[in-house]
């Protein structure tokens, strides 16, 4: 069946781990008739969380696309992981959703994972409804959860329901929008509708009035009718709510027990009746700053938001039709690499189960298999159409590890596996670092990297080990030095001769020319690893022919690439060649290159060399009761606390921490905070390494070099 754009709802389920997203998704499918029996996470038979690794862990790791038919409308549901290690799965799902459903745990209230997710709701400007789940828990506190949500996310949150008898005996919901009492049978499902009890009428009337006012506020005509009549008709109320939600002027809040199937049908009905279709949400943003209306009459444009690899199937590309209609067999052009892709077969998905369809209209979500040259974050268009959907801005990595196979013979196989996993998760970055001589894997958290290791060993048959990554130190100098070096080699036949007189000094922008020297030529180069080399040719009288200038500079750069202190890159140095000697027969490029290497090395050691280390700005959001432990741990990491602030009911710590002290910080923070903290980091600067640490690092490098020799 093909659904029109106006009959599609794209919904993403968000929430902290353990709030019940996968259970709610399962119940939604059951209520719509898409499945005939509800599975459970414990029994490992839910439509979502269908992979072996999710079964092992009992948590969502990948986002899962599902769909159901609700009264002739198609509701696409994207279930997402709760752990922020897998935030890439969440961000990609939000890119293609018109409504976010934020689940809150009635026992735990607003948790730190909810805070993180709300930042992305704001960034994507996604209309949102809240659902307080697990009101059947014996420690459920609905009112406190609502107050926490309002405190953190604002007064736009408006309760539409509340549980009449929360706790272990829960079976009744008071609905202020419909002014109805829902009483559920013990097995859940379809409730019995009853009048509001007298004891609740005053509270419900006040809630209903607040809902009507919120619906009227976003339309002048509705506001006039409300003032004239004191209320709104059911049709006007639905229209006003749809407008308010689409414009993010209102965040309705519902309650349910997904596990008992109490309240989920009402939530689905609201999504179907009131939440915006893809056409009613803001138009898609284009890379060039323009927008693209979700119009089925336009030329076809699709955007790949997720790639997943399945054994025996290969890569499955999940996409949203941003405009037009795509049909099985269509040929589309990739706007990123200009290759043509044939959509041999189109599918709609319910977890691992896929159903073939002939076409998908604007706003719908689907998938295709075995696309050859198209990947996550890329746009495909009808031939002759040139537009690119604004790519997803995935978050920066927060930690890195070095990876190595059991033997060098396995490296090629390991790299192939790593790149395949990287294709699925754009928050993973694989880098083969020439300067550090390591293969680095960057990610969001230790859990994410541990699961990458597990998958590669299980799915690709390659064992791998995580080791501590080397730190990209930088070497520089703090004072001027003048040294010369004579290279002379005679071994029968043509010999080698070169003498180089060199001055080195710290480089900074707009520094004056060197004192006592005549500058004939100067070159200031940006170095590949950062910083600069200023190379000045100050030869007077032709003691060295200028044709050897490039060889001398090449020697300097070679030594700067592997510095004298620890083998790290050197930066921000001015080198002046001011004298020397050459031989008419024995002088050549190789001789001058060798002489310049040794002259630079001798100079460097006398110029008060300084080792520099990368410093990161780290921002930590944590619960107040663990703040002391978090601060104490930071102090052991040579951190400088830059400030503290309150953000909602969480505490924010801003600190500058050396990268060398950040190894496995993700695991440590999770442990000391019992999962009640998150952090982000961003490179800030290079700063001088303390003297005692510098001496230790130099000694370690010397010992390692001697051992290798």
pLDDT digits (tens, 9 = 90+) for 126-137: 999 999 999 999
DSSP 3-state of 638: coil
Q: Where are the alpha helices (DSSP H) in 614-690?
A: 627-635, 665-673
Q: How many CA atoms lie within 13 A of 434 on its CB side?
A: 5
Lowest-pLDDT range, 148-162, 304-318, 333-347, 370-384? 304-318
Least confident range from 140-149, 369-378, 526-535, 666-675: namely 666-675
Check pLDDT > 90 for residue 286.
yes
Q: Give pLDDT, residue 364.
A: 97
In this prediction, residue 236 carries a pLDDT of 83
* Residue among 438, 468, 442, 466 nearest 454 (CA): 466
Cα separation, 659 vs 386, whole angstroms: 43
Neighbours of 439 (CB within 10 A): 20
Which residues share a beta bridge with 483? 502
Instruction: Tell me if the domain spanning 611-692 has CATH number 3.40.50.720.
Output: no
The C-alpha atoms of residue 670 and residue 658 are separated, in whole angstroms, by 20
Burial of 241 (0-12, 13-18, 19+ CB in 10 A): buried
Domains 404-467 and 611-692 agree in fold: yes
pLDDT score of 30 more than 90: yes
Question: Is 10 a residue whose pLDDT tops 60?
Answer: yes
Burial class of residue 47 in the structure, from the number of CB atoms within 10 Å of its CB (0-12 exposed, 13-18 middle, 19+ buried): buried
Q: How far is the CA of 682 from the CAs of 288, 436, 440, 655, 656, in angstroms? A: 27, 20, 18, 11, 10
User: pLDDT value at position 493?
Assistant: 65
What would the DSSP string read from start to end of 594-611?
A: HHHHHHHHHHHHHS-EEE
> Which two structure tokens, joined as six digits, stand for 130?
């809240």
Per the CATH hierarchy, to which homologous superfamily does domain 404-467 belong?
Answer: Elongation Factor G (Translational Gtpase), domain 3 (3.30.70.870)
Residue 96 to residue 319: CA distance in whole angstroms: 8
Tens digits of residue pLDDT in 308-333: 988 778 889 999 999 999 999 999 99
Please tell us whether the domain made up of 5-273 is placed in CATH 3.30.830.10: no
Strand 438-443 with 331-334, pairing: unpaired
Measure Cα distances from 594 to 489, 498, 499 in Å: 11, 8, 10
User: What sign does the CA torsion over 655, 656, 661, 663 have?
Assistant: positive
Structure tokens at 137: 């828990």
The predicted model gives 230-245 an average pLDDT of 85
User: Looking at the domain 475-604, which fold is it?
Assistant: Ribosomal Protein S5; domain 2 (3.30.230)
pLDDT in tens, 659-671: 999 998 988 998 8
- The 3-state DSSP class for residue 17 equals coil
Vertex 354: Cα angle to 131 and 425 (nearest 5) = 65
As a whole number of Å, the end-to-end CA separation of the chain is: 71
- H or E element: which one contains 418? helix 411-424
> In which region does residue 174 sit, left (phi positive, over 0), alpha (psi from -120 to 50) or beta (all else)?
beta
Q: Name the token pair of 507.
A: 């480089």
The Cα-based distances of 23 to 44, 91, 257, 413 in angstroms read: 11, 21, 9, 38
Cβ-based burial of 109 (10 A; exposed 0-12, middle 13-18, buried ≥19): buried
Q: What average pLDDT score do residues 559-570 get?
A: 94
590-616 pLDDT, tens digit each: 999 999 999 999 999 999 999 999 999
| Three-state DSSP class for residue 459 | helix
pLDDT digits (tens, 9 = 90+) for 415-473: 999 998 898 899 999 999 888 889 999 999 888 999 999 889 988 888 999 999 999 99
Where do the structural domains in the chain lie, given as residue ranges? 5-273, 284-382, 404-467, 475-604, 611-692
At 255 the pLDDT is: 97
617's enclosing H/E stretch is strand 609-622
Helix (H) or strand (E) holding 223: helix 220-229
Cβ contacts of 699 within 8 Å, gap of 6 or more: none
Phi–psi pair at 18, nearest 5 degrees:
90, 5
3-state percent breakdown (helix, strand, coil) of the chain, nearest 5:
30, 30, 35
Query: Mean pLDDT over residues 265-288, rounded?
Result: 91
Taking the model in full, what pTM does it have? 0.86
Residue 709's pLDDT is 57
Which tens digits make up the pLDDT trace of 212-230? 889 888 778 888 887 777 7
What's the confidence (pLDDT) of residue 98?
Answer: 94
Is pLDDT above 60 for 9? yes
Picking from 533, 613, 609, 501, the residue whose alpha carbon sits closest to that of residue 564 is 609
φ, ψ dihedrals at 378, nearest 5°: -115, 150
Q: How many Cβ atoms are within 10 Å of 83's Cβ, its own excluded?
A: 22
Three-class secondary structure of residue 699 per DSSP = helix
Question: Is 492's pLDDT higher than 70?
Answer: no
Q: Helix or strand or coil: residue 618?
A: strand
Residues 460/421, Cβ–Cβ less than 8 Å: no
Mean pLDDT score across all residues of the chain: 92
In sequence order, what DSSP letters do the residues of 333-389 get, joined into one string?
EETTT--EEE---EEEEETTEEEEESEEETT-EEEEE--SS--TT-EEEETT----B
Kindly write down the DSSP assignment for every residue of 382-397, as one continuous string.
ETT----BPPP-PPPP
Cα three-residue angle 202-203-208, rounded to 5 degrees: 100
| pLDDT attached to residue 650 | 79
Give the Cα separation of 623 and 651 in Å (integer).
6
Residue owning tokens 């695991």: 667
Among 162, 181, 253, residue whose Cα is nearest residue 214: 253
| C-alpha dihedral sign at 18, 19, 25, 27 | positive
Residues in the chain: 709
Taking the C-alpha atoms of residue 552 and residue 558, their distance in angstroms, rounded to an integer, is 10
Separation of alpha carbons 31 and 258, rounded Å: 11
pLDDT in tens, 386-414: 999 999 999 888 889 999 988 888 898 99
Predicted confidence at residue 612, as pLDDT, reads: 97
Q: Average pLDDT of 263-291?
A: 91
The torsion region of residue 602 among left (phi > 0), alpha (psi -120 to 50) and beta comes to alpha
Q: What is the pLDDT at residue 283?
A: 86
CATH of domain 284-382: 2.40.30.10
**Bigger pLDDT: 420 or 556?**
556
pLDDT of residue 409: 86
What is the distance of C-alpha 247 from the center of its chain?
26
Q: Report the C-alpha gap between 443 and 398 in whole angstroms.
A: 6
Residue 233 confidence (pLDDT):
77
Q: Give the strand pairing for 481-489 and 496-506.
A: antiparallel
The Cα 650–Cα 16 span in angstroms is: 15
CA distance 184 to 541: 100
What pLDDT, on a 0 to 100 scale, did the predictor assign at position 489?
Answer: 86
Q: How confident is the model at residue 335 (pLDDT cuts 50, 70, 90)?
A: very high
């Amino acid at each position: 069946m093909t659904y029109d754009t106006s009959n599609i709802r794209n919904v993403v389920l968000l929430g902290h781990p353990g709030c019940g997203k996968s259970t709610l998704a399962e119940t939604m499918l059951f209520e719509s008739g898409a499945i005939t029996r509800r599975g459970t996470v414990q029994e490992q038979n839910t439509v979502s969380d269908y992979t072996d690794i999710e079964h092992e862990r009992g948590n969502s790791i990948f986002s899962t696309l599902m769909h159901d038919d609700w009264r002739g409308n198609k509701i696409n549901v994207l279930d997402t992981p709760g752990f922020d290690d897998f935030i890439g799965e969440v961000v990609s799902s939000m890119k293609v959703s018109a409504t976010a459903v934020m689940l809150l745990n009635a026992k735990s209230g607003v948790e730190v994972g909810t805070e993180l997710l709300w930042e992305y709701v704001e960034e994507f400007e996604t209309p949102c409804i809240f659902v307080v789940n697990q009101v059947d828990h014996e420690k459920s506190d609905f009112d406190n959860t609502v107050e926490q949500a309002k405190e953190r996310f604002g007064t736009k949150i408006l309760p539409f329901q509340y549980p009449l008898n929360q706790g272990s005996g829960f079976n009744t919901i008071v609905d202020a929008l419909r002014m109805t009492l829902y009483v559920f049978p013990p097995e859940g499902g379809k409730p019995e509708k009853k009048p509001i009890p007298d004891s609740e009428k005053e509270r419900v009337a006040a809630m209903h009035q607040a809902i009507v006012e919120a619906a009227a506020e976003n339309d002048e005509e509705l506001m006039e009718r409300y003032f004239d009549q004191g209320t709104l008709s059911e049709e006007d109320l639905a229209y006003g709510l749809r407008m308010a939600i689409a414009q993010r002027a209102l965040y309705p809040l519902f309650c349910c027990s997904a596990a008992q199937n109490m309240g989920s049908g009402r939530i689905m009905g609201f999504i179907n009746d009131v939440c915006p279709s893809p056409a009613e949400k803001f138009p898609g943003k284009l890379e060039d700053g323009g927008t693209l209306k979700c119009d089925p009459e336009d030329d076809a444009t699709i955007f790949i938001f997720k790639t997943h690899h399945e054994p025996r199937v290969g890569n499955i590309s999940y996409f949203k039709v941003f405009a037009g209609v795509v049909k099985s067999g269509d040929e589309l052009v990739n706007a990123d690499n200009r290759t043509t892709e044939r959509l041999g077969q189109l599918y709609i998905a319910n977890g691992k189960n896929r159903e073939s369809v002939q076409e998908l209209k604007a706003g719908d979500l689907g998938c295709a298999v075995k696309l050859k040259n198209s990947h996550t974050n890329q746009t495909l268009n009808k031939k002759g159409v040139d537009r690119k959907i604004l790519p997803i801005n995935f978050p920066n990595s927060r930690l890195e590890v070095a990876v190595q196979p059991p033997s060098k013979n396995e490296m090629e196989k390991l790299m192939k596996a790593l790149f395949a996993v990287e294709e699925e998760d754009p928050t993973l970055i694989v880098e083969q670092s020439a300067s550090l001589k390591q293969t680095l894997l960057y990610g969001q958290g230790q859990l994410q990297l541990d699961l990458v290791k597990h998958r590669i060993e299980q799915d690709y048959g390659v064992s791998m080990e995580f080791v501590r990554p080397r730190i990209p130190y930088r070497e520089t100098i703090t004072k001027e030095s003048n040294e010369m070096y004579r290279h002379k080699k005679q071994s029968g036949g043509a010999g080698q001769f070169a003498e180089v007189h060199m001055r080195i000094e710290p480089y900074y922008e707009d520094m004056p020319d060197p004192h006592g020297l005549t500058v004939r030529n100067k070159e200031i180069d940006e170095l590949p690893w950062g910083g600069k080399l200023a190379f000045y040719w100050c030869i007077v009288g032709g003691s060295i022919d200028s044709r050897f200038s490039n060889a001398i500079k090449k020697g300097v750069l070679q030594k700067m690439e592997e510095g004298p202190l620890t083998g790290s890159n050197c930066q921000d140095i001015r080198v002046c060649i001011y004298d020397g000697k050459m031989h008419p027969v024995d002088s050549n490029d190789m001789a001058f290159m060798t002489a310049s290497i040794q002259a630079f090395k001798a100079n460097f050691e006398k110029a008060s060399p300084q080792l520099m280390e990368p410093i990161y700005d780290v921002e930590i959001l944590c619960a107040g009761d663990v703040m002391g432990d978090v601060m104490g741990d930071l102090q052991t990491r040579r951190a400088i606390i830059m400030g503290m602030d309150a953000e909602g009911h969480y505490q924010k710590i801003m600190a500058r921490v050396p990268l060398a002290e950040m190894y496995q910080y993700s695991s440590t923070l999770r442990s000391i905070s019992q999962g009640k903290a998150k952090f982000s980091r961003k490179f800030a600067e290079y700063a001088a390494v303390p003297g005692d640490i510098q001496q230790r690092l130099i000694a370690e490098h010397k010992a390692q070099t001697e051992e290798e020799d």
